[in-house]
Amino acid sequence: MSRDDDVVLVISNAPDLLLAKRIAHVLVEEGLAACVNLGAPVLSIYGWQGEVQGDAEIPMWIKTTAGRRGALMEALARLHPYEVPEILVLPVLDGAAPYLDWVRAQTRGNEP
């Protein structure tokens, strides 16, 4: 069972850099994410509607807390053009205490 202040890593992607930047800015501006890292384009090979497809995508690594994860997932789904966007939430088992504290502070927003 996670606590609301546990740090989590959300993995997603975007079809291009411009949209990835837009999503990242919105998530950080709204206090849903402390930081979003955008990676170099990768080729994703996947099955969709009975066919194997491949597309270039921009990977996104999003740092937030368990308490903000639901709102972040809703915003990400709203901002994303895919019918079924990749949204995976991974627990952070440990990390540098000052960094984890910073993630918590950045995503606290107006919460007590």
Contact 10, 89 (CB under 8 A): yes
- pLDDT of 1 > 90? The answer is no
Q: What is the pLDDT of residues 71-108, one digit of tens each?
A: 999 999 999 999 999 999 999 999 999 999 999 999 98
Please give the structure tokens belonging to residue 14: 């975007």
Q: How many CB atoms lie within 10 A of CB 62?
A: 25
Rounded to two decimals, the pTM is 0.93
Q: Which domains does the chain have, with CATH numbers?
A: 7-108 (3.30.70.120)
- pLDDT of 112 > 90? The answer is no
Reported as a pLDDT band with limits 50, 70 and 90, residue 70 is very high
